[in-house]
Structure 1
């Protein structure tokens, strides 16, 4: 696939989205009776294994449906824009009605009918601030596309509550609990994405708090680039709250897909705020993630690697997160690869550096050889695979089949290529 043939490339991604991905989700992922969305399918996409509704996934689906509606209205997709926006609206209504707790936080897990469930008996309902983050993102995108000022205010209020909880140190972060005494890159990373999207929506509305949110975006970007970005171009996932990083698995491991996703957040914000040095460092971090994270034997990006490449090493502490790293480090997952498609393409278009074109093309070949279901009538991707690319039945994060990364990155690629076509 010629990376500089923008029209052919855009056609490829549009067709894959419309023929392979969307039929599955628009036919099987919508709960037409109770509202909101089904996402608890098995890895093959053959069985709905639960009708539970993880709030994390509900917020993500709202974002996707709203953005797909906008693309359809703009002629970049051949879908029913009104139906898509109505499906997003139904998700907003379901989450608003059922997911919010008395303290303003979001419950992590609901049943099909919206009843709140404890994911871990006795540990409460708001076990992950990530659920609140994805509700904020979903509500923000719906509000922007639908021009709904009331939903935008809901998103803003929820975001500011998350910010306050982070400052107070009162967040929980299942399914990735941060070990005691550590700071996690995942927190400023997700908050950069939340605040940059909310800031843009507020700016579009001429909202008086838009500048405040843009300042928050800058602060979270600064935390990533001045705290977690390392002099060698790697991005640390966990660092001790004080002192030097010990030579442990927790501090030595790198998550290539997370790095690439985080860096395209940084690239977009750095471009918007004129931070050229951070933009350069972000592209360097993408290249470094490939240097240590690409499997030279079988292809694809490892889930976790040591900072020098290969299986994560260092002293073991017995932390729960450490076991996850060591047990799943060599799996090949859908989400790092869809993020890598967009991240490398964006880096290439921003820099013109042919090395990013090469990384993108290598990733494109691997992704479309490995992840799409071999029977397109059954649709979607087989998302979770072992090192050799064979499907495996394993829960990754939530026990769901998640369309967010695939659809979001296909959408972003289509939009990026449209920008390039407009400038050609």
Structure 2
């Protein structure tokens, strides 16, 4: 197995450094106005110049992360600063509520209704503050994170379109991302606050949103405010990709906190979600499902998305390395074969994002409103490193 691990590690490393990162460096940097183009067609041609703030933050984070963890390459640092300065000047409303989208020159287009603009701004400036030693960047990261904490129970805040009388519900996405975000900006926040944020998020993910009575034991996307299951379209919604992505965050926390029981539970949930969400007819993982098998409101429910499969590869490798559960490796080989044969574009760099149920590309784009320089490169890096560790342990 040692040689197998080494060969796969090289495959992921080469794809990251020789294909994906050069694509974003060459095609996405807006050297006239700052920030990044993310609406890129198959060959990298820009098809729209609006800038989506959460994707701007993700790209800043990605280049700063590579600079901090891989190699002190000036072009990576310069690329990160290009995006960070654009966000610093144009990305928020002055109170560090980060907008959802901007025009090319930074004029706000959509209000800060989406809390994930803030989560990724915090990650971006936190990672870049480590790279540069900038106190200003560190302060922006803390202020962005403070807004996340302040809006934790009401993420959309005053920009919510829900009626004041709407049924109160809790959503899974924010506590999931806070688990990862807390570790990302750990040097910038008080240890006691960090501990409490982690414990609260782990409890919500693993004890509330994880429901052993749903399917084989799955995580749901929404709950009633009292923590009970809701029988409405939001309450029945399942997202296998979200479930699986959250489990590798839990594995990281379990390893960090020396909590093997948390790792074991996370691995179990990831395998449950994968087996439940796998399309036995055409292969690949469904995007959305209904826990009672009822019709979905999401018309894209049966599409196969890039991030779902990449996050699954990370979770399976971490699960295998930490527990040696053979099911993790069996599924890794299956998902790896699907991802590389369907999402990787053999003609141009970067990967396709959206496939139909049969596994055929639906869109030619390599980046857009939702896909940017994040899941593919982060996933390639994570898989490369996990495979290297497995090779060293073999």
Q: TM-score, normalised by structure 1?
A: 0.84
> Which of 37, 52, 55 is residue 54 of structure 1 equivalent to?
52
Alpha-carbon separation, structure 1, partners of 2:64 and 2:361: 31
Displacement after TM superposition at 1:147 (Å) = 3.2
Residues 45, 401 of structure 1: 8 Å contact kept: no
Displacement of 1:403: 2.7
Please name the residue that 2:67 is paired with.
Answer: 69
With 234-243 and 283-292 compared, the bigger mean Cα shift is at: 234-243
| Aligned equivalents of 1:182, 1:4: Cα separation in 2 | 49
Q: CA deviation at 1:329?
A: 1.2
**1:175, CA displacement in angstroms?**
12
Unaligned segments of structure 2, at least 5 residues? none
TM-score scaled by length of structure 2: 0.91
d(CA) in 2 for partners of 1:9, 1:103? 46
Matched, 1:162 2:148: yes
The count of residues paired between Structure 1 and Structure 2 equals 389
Q: Distance in 1 between matches of 2:200 and 2:324?
A: 28
1:355 to 322, 327, 332: 327
Closer, same or farther in 2 for the Cα pair 1:81/1:58, shift >3 Å? Answer: same
- Let me know the Cα RMSD of the aligned residues: 2.7
Aligned to 2:178: 191
Distance in 2 between residues matched to 1:283 and 1:176, nearest whole Å? 36
CA separation of 1:35 and 1:46: change in aligned 2, threshold 3 A? closer
Contact 2:343–2:351 under 8 Å retained in 1: yes
Q: Distance in 2 between matches of 1:173 and 1:374?
A: 42
Unaligned runs of 5+ in 1: 74-79, 119-124, 315-321
Structure 1 residues 211, 417: CA separation in 2 closer, same or farther (over 3 Å shift)?
A: farther
Within 5 Å, give how 1:12-411 maps onto structure 2: 12-42=11-41, 44-45=42-43, 47-73=45-71, 81-118=73-110, 125-167=111-153, 171=157, 180-199=167-186, 201-202=187-188, 209-231=190-212, 232-242=216-226, 244-307=228-291, 312-313=293-294, 323-324=297-298, 327-375=299-347, 378-393=348-363, 399-411=369-381
Q: Is the 8 A contact 2:233 2:297 kept in 1?
A: no
CA distance in 2, matches of 1:53, 1:336: 23
Say if 1:115 and 1:18 are closer, same or farther in 2 by CA, change over 3 A. Answer: same
* 1:53-90 superposed Cα distances (whole Å, 9 cap, x missing partner): 111000000111112223442xxxxxx71110111012
- Identify the residue that residue 4 of structure 2 maps to in structure 1: 5
Between the aligned partners of 1:243 and 1:23, the Cα distance in structure 2 is 45
**Distance in 2 separating the partners of 1:37 and 1:212:** 33
Change (3 A) 1:396 1:67: closer
The separation in 1 between residues aligned to 2:151 and 2:19, in whole angstroms, is 40
Output the CA distance in 1 between the equivalents of 2:378 and 2:35. 18
